Chains A and B, each alone.
Chain A
Amino acid sequence: MKGLCECEIIAQSEISPGVVRTLLTGPEIANEAKPGQFVNVQVARTTTDPLLRRPFSVHAVYPDQGVYSLLYVMVGRGTALLNKIQPGDYVSVVGPLGRGFDLGDSPDAEHIVIAGGCGAAPLHFLCDDLCNKWGCEKVKVLTGGRSKNAVLCEAEFRSHGVDVAVSTDDGTYGHHGVVTELLQRYLDNDAQRTTHNAQRPFRIYSCGPHAMMREVARICAEAGVHDVQLSLENNMACGIGVCTGCVQKIKGPMKNDKSGQNWHYERVCKDGPVFNAEDIIWE
């Protein structure tokens, strides 16, 4: 049955300070994963501390070779342990998990992908599929980071042949400012270009820090762009939907609720991690 596999680490390389790309074997994951889905990795096999698996988005897949890659930032003990695993060794992986991005069914849409920091991880895979499905000329990437080093995967995005715009908070590279300013500017320009109200049907995809995605949601709502998909995170214990730990507050009443509340919780690991921006209740 699906779900649990032993993946050999083929290589790990630090592509930027503290940012690691890992290539692993895993034919099922490479063949079945959809952009925006993630895997849950056991970072240490012989100890109960750390106990829980760590979730990482699928960064790229190579179905023909039966391999896939992850891109992670070393932030704590789990990621440090993962980084110590040598090529040739195996890790236990559960996945692919969760509900990924919906690439839409309209050939007229223009797809804008907005990455913040390590939020670029799932978006490289997404760009790949978007280009294959709709053609690279329909895809635009806006990617940002605190500083030049934190702008991840720019070369990979460009390798698809898509248009890429970059921003850094400190101005060391690209636009000096946050990446959502690039989005704002792009939508403003588009509004000027288009005569009367006939805006092009945009589809927006984003992954990154919470504050950034919240701003993406705000800008899009203001601009009347409705197809906005955000990949969220929360602390995960199981990653497979059984513990109800990783929830996000979502609009609309809970099923069978009689108390009249107009919200409910959904699981990021199972009902997400990709949610529609208009459904999210931010706090």
Chain B
Amino acid sequence: MGIASPDLSVKIGKIEMKNPVTVASGTFGFGQEMADFYDLSRLGAIVVKGTSLDPWFGNPYPRTVETPSGMLNAIGLQNDGLESFLSEKLPFLRQFDVPVIVNVVGQSVEEYAEVAAALDKAEGVAGLELNLSCPNVKKGCMIFGSTPEGIAEVIRAVRKRTGLTLITKLSPNVTDIVSIAQAAVEAGSDALSLINTLLGTAIDPWKRKFRLANITGGLSGPAVKPVALRMVWQVASAVDVPIIGMGGIMNAMDAVEFMLAGADAIAVGTGNFVNPMAAVEIVTGIEEYLKATNISDVKKIVGAVN
């Protein structure tokens, strides 16, 4: 006799999620468009697009190109800035019964701290995800996230300005992700999310041109899943904070693999583009998996790979 309704709830820092499924920053906008497809309250949490102090224009186009089982993007963190987030986007998201996590980007340590301080006072923000891993902008982001010292400096500055749950998003474009993860935790990060995109490029052989205006972009989708899974497992084995795993999750079984590798929650990214219903279908699929395997609580599969 299977489990009637398994407990799907998980906790990331102080953030209570009704299920372990969230969405990857930059693949869900600020929720408005996705609300046409389903009730956003069905998600465990929402992570919005990278938000900076002032608006960012983003990169020239073409910004995206499809690659085998994946895609490259070089959006360059186009966003309308903090003011518009607080006055337009956040009020919309407050209608839903779902924790909102803001992906924060900046060109300097001070900018990260300033955005964090403003969000700390805003009603309806559950946590911050520090994007210290975007490969598509020249200043900030991955520059900070590529060394243990750089990442720690930003986290310490932000930590002083907010009591919100701090999630640090890690880049896979480093030699040793574990040492960076450890530095982030020591500096005061409450949780980690990984992976951001893998730096890559694509060339059109007939035109002899790069396919992205920015030349390089970040690889995402099923192609990156094995790398992401390995990194989640390595980091989960080395640190004690909750982990949000992502990278190529398209369906519930992908999600379960990440949880078995040690992720407490998972995020759907590129999968939203292929199937706008992916995230909510994954919630249902995880529940079915638990029932089929007679597990009463999703937390029991975290790190449970043999």
- A residues near B (Cβ < 8 Å) are 1-4, 42, 48-53, 92, 94, 234-248, 254-259, 261, 264-265, 270
Contacts and interface: CB of A to CB of B under 8 A. Distances in A.
Contacts of B73: 237, 243, 245
B61 A247 contact: yes
A52 B55 contact: no
Nearest to B31: A242
Given A2-B37, A92-B275, A257-B57, 5 more contacts: A51-B71, A53-B274, A234-B61, A243-B64, A256-B81
A237 B64 contact: yes
Nearest to B23: A242
7 contacts: A52-B273, A240-B36, A242-B28, A245-B64, A245-B75, A247-B58, A270-B33
B232 to A, nearest CB: 20
A237 B62 CA distance: 11
Contacts of B69: 48-49, 51
Contacts of A246: 61, 63-64
B65 interface: yes
A256 B84 CA distance: 8
Given A1-B36, A4-B37, A241 B71 contact: no
Contacts of A49: 68-69
Contacts of B38: 1
Contacts of B83: 256
A48 B222 contact: yes
A261 B75 contact: no
B270 interface: yes
Contact of A241 (B29, B75, B81, B221): B29
Contacts of A244: 26, 29, 49, 58, 63, 75, 78
B70 interface: yes
Interface in B22-73: 26-29, 33-34, 36-38, 49, 54-55, 57-58, 61-66, 68-71, 73
B297 interface: no
Contacts of A240: 33-34, 36, 276
SS class, residues of chain A in contact with chain B: loop
B250 interface: yes
B272 interface: yes
B31 to A, nearest CB: 9
Contacts of B58: 244, 247, 265
Closest 9 CB pairs of A and B: A245-B64, A242-B29, A238-B273, A48-B69, A237-B64, A48-B222, A241-B33, A49-B69, A245-B63
A45 to B, nearest CB: 10
B80 interface: yes
Interface residues of B, number: 41
B277 interface: yes
Contacts of B55: 254-257
Contacts of A1: 36-38
A195 B216 CA distance: 57
A255 B37 contact: no
Contacts of A42: 274
A265 B58 CA distance: 8
Interface string B287-303: 00000000000000000
Contacts of B61: 234-235, 245-248, 265
Interface string B191-233: 0000000000000000000000000000001100000000000
A235 B65 CA distance: 7
Interface in B256-273: 270, 272-273
A264 to B, nearest CB: 7
A52 B276 contact: no
Nearest to A268: B61
B276 A256 contact: no
Most B CB contacts (10 A, CB to CB) among A48, A239, A256 go to: A48
Given A51-B222, A238-B27, A242-B29, A254 B276 contact: no
A37 to B, nearest CB: 14
Nearest to B58: A265
Given A1-B38, A236-B64, A243-B73, A256 B27 contact: no
B244 to A, nearest CB: 19
B66 A242 contact: no
Contact of A50 (B33, B54, B63, B66): B66
Contacts of A238: 27, 272-273
Contact of A3 (B37, B66, B222): B37
Contacts of B272: 238, 242
A242 B54 CA distance: 20
A52 B64 CA distance: 11
A94 B64 contact: no
B100 to A, nearest CB: 16
A247 B65 CA distance: 13
Most A CB contacts (10 A, CB to CB) among B37, B66, B73, B275 go to: B66
A42 B272 CA distance: 13
B29 A52 contact: no
